[in-house]
Structure 1
Amino acid sequence: MQQQRFRPDFVKDCILKIVKIMAHHRRVTPISDTSTIENRAASVDSSKPSRSKKEGTDSELSQSGYGKPQVSVRKQKGVYMIKGAMKVGIDPDVMYGIITDHESSPRIFKSISRVEIEEKENGKIVTQHARWNFFRWSGTFSIRLLVEEDHQSRSFKFQLQEPGFLRIFDGEWNVNPLKVEGEKAGSLVLLKQQMLPKVVALGPLSRCMCGVLSSQVRTLFHDLRDEANASNEGDKKKAAG
């Protein structure tokens, strides 16, 4: 069998093809100003939203409807800064319970195949065995995280413990009560995260990476949405029974 000859421009061609495909779907160009997502999210629970253009409003988030995440990714000093927000029609305590149910994460999240949990004095060590896909390549890697939960504020922080495939993978989840005209209307789920892979992406590949990360975070939010919907359906069946 004749060995296939490696073409030096093969990787470049693949990268350009990915960039073109993602640009077509408007997922490559990162959002330069991620502060608007946070400001919109903060204004949802306000009875008198700010009219300041600098602060922004919750109009875009409201128009997106429930279960449609708003995600932004930008690169700052080499580190990818990720922010996301999504409204979910479920009680905040129930939503927080879903996010912190680490034992069930392989069932909830499509990207996680297995998880191991160790109880520590200052929190939990959660080891996630995750899947990744990039164009025609795929594989698995493990992430060992220190997780600190605060049930009173419905937040938890996570911090990478053993750099490997990723050099930085830190962030925080928050679940806030969502109100519309003063009435309870579900939860507002917020994610702030910073990530730095071991291999540095430059130029078009860096912009491509922003698109890939944005897509992955949206999938993460969609998985949470589906679990929340399933939980709501389960509660309705129990009430009906």
Structure 2
Amino acid sequence: MPNTMFNFFGRIPQIFQKWAELNLEQLRKNDWKPKTIEHLVIIEKDSQTQLELNLDKQMKAWKKNIHWVDQPPEINVTVPKGSLCDLNLRVKVGLPPDAVFNIIIDPENKRVFKNIKEVISRKVLVDEGMRQVVEVEQAALWRFLWWSGTISVHVYVDQNRKNHTVKFKQGKSGFMKKFEGCWKIEPLFVDEQLCYPDKPETVAEYDVCTAGRGRVGSILNLQQLIQPAIVPPPPISWYLRGITTKTTQMLINDLITETARLRGGASDTISEHDLDLNYNNGKHSSTSDIINIKERWCQRRRTRKNRRLRDQTL
């Protein structure tokens, strides 16, 4: 037995050499070339070039037909235990996913989003061409009812063009214990009726069945979880949720205005009363309701005043 094992291990170099020769021969037959780092860089650049060409083609389709009616976003706000709110937003946008992605990740996007007062610092930690991880600290403006102010936001952003996602997570802790979420952009086949009776499943199929005339829009999804270090009781928590929702509304308004500018059209901003808000406590099902925080606060004050008057009368 020891001799057998010794013979086996002694033959390993020959076995490995034979395996390498056979595989190299097969690779030569298939005209395969090893992917060096330089080769991978070339592939990455080719992919980016192709994406730019596709985006240019899609934008030309929008230039030929700029008709688009912006709709208010659907916003669902839940209140998980121990958190201030979990906000989920969905809105249709009249521009291709790559164009919307470009707006969101643009280092100079404070010219678009009015709630960004200043980019304090920005550092690229990972750069893989199609995917980057960026550390960002910026001063953000917030405004709600009669109040306004500035808050410092420090996040790590993982932006991936391959699947059109932008994930963000809080870096430095402070007032916020948890602040994280994800933007996800999916293609929307605006002129899908041109393909009838076929139903395209991919952008390539859609491009073929519309003979390149079909416009590609976007379905933008945002999921955002906010958890302060200390969750305040009502009515303060109502106000903070209102600030969060109002800030998100401002972001979407600014984004829609920019998309209208890029496609050469005009768009009205979305009013607060156009928002479809759904609130629940994380245990019950959502119910559609237009939540007016100011009115709720006034109603609460009136109720307390009436109760005091009733007690005094008694």
Over residues 163-220 of structure 1, what are the superposed CA-to-partner deviations in whole Å (9 max), with x where a residue is unaligned? 1232211000011101243554411111001012344221333234333322221211
Are the counterparts in 1 of residues 142 and 243 from structure 2 also a CA contact under 8 Å?
Answer: no
User: CA deviation digits over 1:104-156, x for unaligned, max 9?
Assistant: 22111111111121011371101121112344433212111111111100101
> Which one of 253, 276, 285 corresponds to residue 222 of structure 1?
253
8 Å Cα contact 2:97/2:185 also seen in 1: yes
Shift of 1:226: 0.7
2:152 is the alignment partner of 1:142: yes
* TM-score (norm. length: structure 1): 0.64
Query: Structure 1 residue aligned with 2:77, among 43, 67, 73?
Result: 73
Q: 1:132 to 1:78 in 2, by over 3 A?
A: same
Q: What does the per-residue CA deviation read over 1:10-55, in whole Å, with 9 as the maximum and x for residues that have no partner? A: xxxxxxxxxxxxxxxxxxxxxxxxxxxxxxxxxxxxxxxxxxxxxx
144, 157, 166: which one pairs with 2:167? 157
Report 1:45-124 matches (<5 A). 66-79=70-83, 80-101=85-106, 103-115=107-119, 116-121=121-126, 123-124=133-134
Q: Larger Rg: 1 or 2?
A: 2
Distance in structure 2 (CA, Å) of the matches to 1:149 and 1:137:
33
Q: Which moved more, 1:82-91 or 1:214-223?
A: 214-223
Deviations 1:67-121 (A, max 9, x none): 42111212101221011011111111111111111x2221111111111210113
Which structure would you say has the larger RCO, counting Cα contacts within 8 Å and 6 or more residues apart?
1
Question: Are the structure 2 counterparts of residues 201 and 135 from structure 1 closer, same or farther at C-alpha, using a change threshold of 3 Å?
Answer: farther
Letter in 2 for 1:110: K
TM-score, with length taken from structure 2:
0.50
Q: Distance in 2 between matches of 1:184 and 1:215?
A: 31
Q: Percent sequence identity over matched residues?
A: 31
| Amino acid in structure 1 at the alignment position of 2:92 | K
CA RMSD of aligned residues (A): 2.0
**Structure 2 spans left out of the alignment, 5+ residues:** 1-68, 127-131, 193-198, 200-213, 266-314
CA shift, 1:66, in A, is 2.6
Q: Which runs of 5+ in 1 are unaligned?
A: 1-64, 235-241
The secondary structure found in structure 1 opposite 2:114 is: coil
Maintained 8 Å contact 2:183/2:220 = yes
Number of aligned residues: 169
Higher strand fraction: Structure 1 or Structure 2? Answer: 1
Contact 2:144 2:246 in 1 (8 A): no
In structure 2, the residue matched to 1:232 is 263
Asked if the contact 1:71/1:217 (under 8 Å) is kept, the reply is no
Indicate the SS of the match to 2:101: helix
The one-letter amino acid paired with 1:230 is R
Distance 2:147 2:103 in 1: 31
181-190 vs 107-116, greater mean Cα deviation: 181-190
Report how far residue 162 of structure 1 moved.
0.3
SS of alignment partner, residue 190 of structure 1: strand
Q: Could you tell me how far apart the structure 2 residues matched to 1:227 and 1:84 are?
A: 18
